[in-house]
Amino acid sequence: MHRYIPSTSAEQQELLKSIGANSIEDLFVDIPSNLRFKGDLNIGEGLSELELTKHIQELANKNESGLTCFMGAGAYDHFSPSVINHIALRQEFFTAYTPYQPEISQGTVTAIFEFQTMMSRLTGMEVTNASMYDGQTATAEAVALACENTKRSKIVVSAGLGKDTIEVIKTADETKGIEIIVAPLKDGATDIEATKALMGDDVAGLVVKSPNFFGIVEDLGALEAVAHSDKKSMFIVNTDPSSLGILKAPGEFGADVVVGEAQTLGIPMSFGGPYLGFLSVNKKLVRKIPGRVVGQSTDAEGNRAFVLTLQAREQHIRRYKATSNICSNQGLIMLMATIYMSLMGEQGLKEVATQSMQKAHYAYEKLVATGKFKPMFPGKPFFKEFALVADADVKKINEELLKSGILGGYELGKDYAEYGNGVLIAVTEKRTKEEIDELVRIMEAI
């Protein structure tokens, strides 16, 4: 038997015989032949452990690492204190599956309880669940929640969510019979008048993002009024939690559901994942949220203890009425965010947000002052990310920056033909004045 294949040929034949199949091919007869791959996979010969280690290292070495990052568009280079890994990688946490059972894992359920509590305070909401896969799937879950709660099948989503998030919503929710209507932007922010025209008494809610994909802080007060122009319609806000150290919480604007990507809370970018979604609601919706909620109680001896309080949407009860199959959480990544928030505290989160915003505005002003870059959305408030229109080709600019060890901005023209030679630049608290000045010097010279 091969070390990577758990059954021998003889065992496979025995298994096939026991179920009345003549070959492995017989197991796939229900799949039309024109959809099935024929031939051998091009994966090469088997390798020894030593050969495999060398091969993987060669592949890893092809990645650029150690770059000074000004790329955002959904993943951000914030500082992650080393103590996060020291705690998260302890063996009692670092398991293949989140050990929920409270009688054997008080540490895990306590961490979830703390995560829920801190995220609720940060978003200004009453309840947060144990976490979601990522910000995009959390947004899709919020859409399904709104439609289930209002018994309506239309939802309006702002184009400011970004194309990737809207595609995830469509993939996850259109199969449930939900109609996704995209509200346009005006000068980079949600077009309030156009959005008003899209709302109606058959719409379950309005989904916006602030700061939005282009970094602009949306007018949540005005958008809340649009969302709640019909009493049943719900207001869903996708937000970057790192911005909430200085920006007013969505809950204070009357949001019914707050979701987002929490990678910005001390979780490394890690080439794109795994990341961490969160979903917060007001108490009246607590029985409609996906996933799990940990609550505080006391044990038989009266000691403080934590238990899985609510899991009404998974495999136990209401199984056939559930609109979501989510029944788990991103346990380890949730733990990392919890450690980060515990370390930073209210003052630390405020400091991270303030530095990110101030440094982004410094970079913006320096680049515009070169005369080679123009604001794409002049006058619009932004947090740590901003869009510019370049005189030179953005791809060429990024190639030159890469030669100096700098990862440049997101090329908007790749996904947004209407924004032509636009570039989206993100600046976090990690960037120094010297790094920003070097970015400006190189971009100005091209």
Task: From first to last of the 446 residues of the chain, give the pLDDT tens digit.
Answer: 556 667 888 999 999 999 999 998 899 999 998 999 888 888 888 889 999 999 999 999 998 888 999 999 999 999 999 999 999 998 878 775 656 666 567 888 899 999 999 999 999 999 999 999 999 999 999 999 999 999 999 999 999 999 999 999 999 999 889 999 999 999 999 999 999 999 999 999 999 999 999 999 999 999 999 999 999 999 999 999 999 999 999 999 999 999 999 999 999 999 899 999 999 999 999 988 988 899 999 989 999 999 888 876 555 556 666 667 777 788 899 999 999 999 999 999 999 999 999 999 999 999 999 999 999 999 999 999 999 999 999 999 999 999 999 999 999 999 999 998 999 999 999 999 999 999 999 999 98
Distance CA 294, CA 106 (A): 11
Distance between CA atoms of residues 426 and 334, nearest Å: 24
Sketch out the chain's domains with CATH numbers.
Answer: 68-77+347-445 (3.90.1150.10), 82-340 (3.40.640.10)
Residue type, 356: S
Query: Cα(235)–Cα(158) distance, rounded to whole angstroms?
Result: 12
Residue from 381, 341, 347 nearest 364 by CA: 381
Residue 297's DSSP bridge partners are: 305
Beta bridge partners of 422: 389
Q: Which amino acid is at 267?
A: I
Neighbours of 398 (CB within 10 A): 20
Amino acid letter, residue 348:
G
Q: Which tokens sit at 251?
A: 């809950």
Distance CA 40, CA 56 (A): 22
Q: Residue holding tokens 């033909």?
A: 417
Residue 316 Cα distances to 109, 126, 144, 400, angstroms: 19, 24, 20, 56
Q: How are the residues of the chain apportioned to helix, strand and coil, as percentages rounded to the nearest 5?
A: 45, 15, 40
Q: Which helix (H) or strand (E) holds 310?
A: strand 304-310
Cβ neighbourhood burial of 66 (10 Å; 0-12, 13-18, 19+): exposed
SS3 443: helix
How far is the C-alpha of 279 from the C-alpha of 263, rounded, in Å? 14
pTM over cut 0.85: yes
For β-strands 189-190 and 185-186, DSSP reports them as antiparallel
The alpha helices in 153-213, defined as continuous H runs, are: 163-173, 192-198
